[in-house]
Amino acid sequence: MIKLYLKKVYKTLNKIIKELKWRRYKLKLIIKRIEKKNLKPFVDLGVSLHKSLNLIEDGINEIEEGLRTLRSSVIQGGLEAKLITNSEPKTQDTEVYEVLLCSIKLHIKPEMLIYVLRSCFIKRKVLILLEDRLEYLKDVIIDFFNFIFEESFEKKIKAITKGEYTKEKDFYTDYIVLTDNGGPVKDKNQIFINETKFEEEIIREYYRETDTILGRKNLRYKLQDLYALSKALFDFYEKRGNILVPKAAIRHLEDTFFLKIKKEFFYFLVDIVKTYFDIDIKYAKDYVAEQIALLMGEL
């Protein structure tokens, strides 16, 4: 009963958001027309409409925060939502720290963050190489990754300068080494040969967000959701006797998290489960074929 109630609440909030976004769109069109005409009698009206637009924006942000909290409660399986700490590093002044966070976007290409995500999804240790002049960014980068991976994927990430790496190269033979220019120093085992479409989407959204603090929080929410989906899929697979029926698994995830899951994204989750939880996934169709072959004496 509780789950059905939460599902109804979730659907209702989604409808409200869609309605608010539609009204926001219409309001922006009206404001644009008024500003284009530049008529004095409409100045006061334009100011009022801008205030209304700000209220709608606030409403959308509040409801989206509520949706995230609701999803957190569902992930926990209880009514009380998990409170996600919004604490910023206490060792730095917030404004100064925001400038340093901007430096990450300025000096580090999105490709590097994409590869960091992929490396953590496959549970590999990561070493980030920085230009010697960017040594001041080392602690900021580690704080950044500690924050975005909080309560989601395990990570082992280090950041050092290229000068330090030259002297200590032998200590990092089991690390995936990434440069601040983007990709890995070398990829002998072709770890990054697969497409990184979904990692790219996550990082692209982060780089598009102009508010650095908000962008960092949203990135953390994304990774927490992704981990929760992957863990739920892993648990479902084990409960079903280590046999995966894609349709049943997708239905289970959709019913649990109130999401519409496309096949492409589902198989992305399957890849994470295989590499992060280190298991072989056996599909039902392969299992049936194997059993038939055994009965026929072919195996």
| Coil vs helix vs strand at 283 | strand
C-alpha–C-alpha distance, residues 109 and 183, integer Å: 9
What string of pLDDT tens digits covers the 299 residues of the chain? 444 545 555 666 666 766 666 677 666 777 676 666 665 555 555 556 666 666 766 666 666 666 666 555 554 444 333 333 344 444 445 666 666 777 788 778 888 899 999 999 999 999 999 988 888 888 889 999 999 999 999 999 999 999 999 998 889 988 999 886 666 665 555 566 567 889 999 999 998 888 888 889 999 999 999 999 999 999 999 998 888 888 999 999 998 888 889 999 999 999 999 999 999 888 866 554 454 545 555 54
- Domain residue extents for the chain: 2-76, 94-197
Contact 230, 273 (CB under 8 A): yes
Q: Could you tell me where the DSSP H helices lie in 41-153? A: 43-76, 94-107, 110-121, 138-148
C-alpha–C-alpha distance, residues 213 and 49, integer Å: 28
Write down the pLDDT at residue 125: 92
Bridge-based pairing of strands 126-130 and 176-179 is parallel
Beta strands in the chain (DSSP E): 126-130, 157-161, 176-179
Alpha-carbon radius of gyration of the chain: 24
How many C-beta neighbours within 10 Å does residue 240 have? 14
| Coil vs helix vs strand at 284 | helix
Bridge-based pairing of strands 157-161 and 176-179 is unpaired
This prediction's pTM: 0.67
Both tokens of 155, joined, read 């990570």
Write down the pLDDT at residue 165: 93
Contact 230, 276 (CB under 8 A): yes
Write down the pLDDT at residue 268: 94
**What does DSSP assign to residue 159?**
E
Both tokens of 206, joined, read 């982060």
C-alpha–C-alpha distance, residues 299 and 229, integer Å: 36
How many C-beta neighbours within 10 Å does residue 239 have? 9
Both tokens of 252, joined, read 């289970």
Write down the pLDDT at residue 184: 64
Task: Classify burial at 226, counting beta carbons within 10 Å of its beta carbon; exposed 0-12, middle 13-18, buried 19 or more.
Answer: buried
